[in-house]
Amino acid sequence: MFINNFDPVAFNIFSLEIRWYSLSYIFGIIFGWLYCKKILIKNNSFQKLFDDYIFYLILGIIIGGRLGYVVIYNLSHYFANPLEILMIWQGGMSFHGAVIGVILTTYIFSIKTKINIFYFLDLVALSSPIGIFFGRISNYINSELYGRESDIFWSVKFLLVDNLNRHPSQIYEAILEGLILFIILNFLISRDNKKDGYISAFFLIFYSTFRFLIEFTREPDAHIGLMLFNLSMGQLISIIFFFLGIFIWKSKKNV
């Protein structure tokens, strides 16, 4: 059994608190951007274009992630307290909402540049496990999105939460949705005859599968609990995204 008693604040600059969660977003975007520019994109003109795209990508992540959390996970609270929607520093971001936000902003950018939307989405899919990894590690440090009670020998006691031994579900997600997903997708990109959209499809398929399985070890949101067939909200949404990935894969396979 391990003890988690980390401080969510990484350091202070005068009276300003710099939190691990904020740093995970910053480093995830920076490392993902560098990976795309230095490794994945070979065309110099496309590298410059990707710099312009980053602004759209960040907007999609932040706006989509925040609105996704508001609508999917806590609509009644934010309906009564609408100003709190803008307080993103207080936490509350939805991965699935961020995906939708990225798709929409990428669609706008692809129309502007007249380039296939899946060219950009495939790059995001290949690099996003980097950000997911950092994000889940910061969830662990923050003692949030923690696991269900367990007596396994690697269980963790989150002192900021309670005195129960729990699954470190954030670490499971960091490994599967971060490291393993990164390896799988970057193996697939090395294969010949890859069509635009294949990587995006497999990202949705594998991420949804990993998320669905890990949710069995993750404590459901207290204000939502388990839902249809005793599945969590995250699992139900993962099912939808899984079939979306299958649909994209099938459509690209038949082209």
Cα R_g (the chain), whole angstroms: 19
DSSP 219: P
pLDDT value for 194: 67
Sign of CA dihedral 182, 169, 54, 197: positive
Q: For position 31, what pLDDT does the model report?
A: 96
- What pLDDT is attached to residue 196? 85
Closest CA to 132 of 166, 173, 98: 173
Mean pLDDT, rounded, for 115-142: 95
Q: What is the pLDDT of residue 193?
A: 56
For residue 90, name the pLDDT band (cuts at 50, 70, 90).
low
> How much is the average pLDDT of 94-108?
95
Task: Note whether 46 and 17 are within 8 A (CB).
Answer: no
Contact 223, 74 (CB under 8 A): yes
Q: What is the pLDDT of residue 91?
A: 63
19 contacts: CB under 8 Å, gap ≥ 6: 8, 9, 10, 89, 142
Of residues 19 and 255, the one with the higher pLDDT is: 19
Domain segments of the chain: what residues?
16-253
In this prediction, residue 252 carries a pLDDT of 75
On average, the pLDDT of the chain sits at 91
Q: Which residues of 184-201 are buried (b: 16+ CB within 10 A; e: fewer)?
A: bbbebbeeeeeebbbbbb
> Hey, CA dihedral for 183, 216, 200, 93, is it positive or negative?
negative
138-to-143, 190, 222, 249 alpha-carbon distances in Å: 9, 30, 20, 32
For range 95-124, the mean pLDDT? 95
The per-residue pLDDT for 221 is 85
Q: Work out the average pLDDT over 137-163.
A: 95
Confidence of residue 192 (pLDDT cuts 50, 70, 90): low
Is residue 24 over pLDDT 80? yes
Report the pLDDT value the prediction gives residue 248, as an integer from 0 to 100.
93
Q: Strands of the chain (E only): list them.
A: 2-4, 9-13, 16-19, 156-158, 165-166
pLDDT tens digits along 206-227? 999 999 999 999 999 888 889 9
Answer yes or no: is pLDDT of 143 > 60.
Answer: yes
Closest C-alpha to 84, from 74, 98, 94:
74
Confidence tier at 254 by pLDDT (50, 70, 90): low
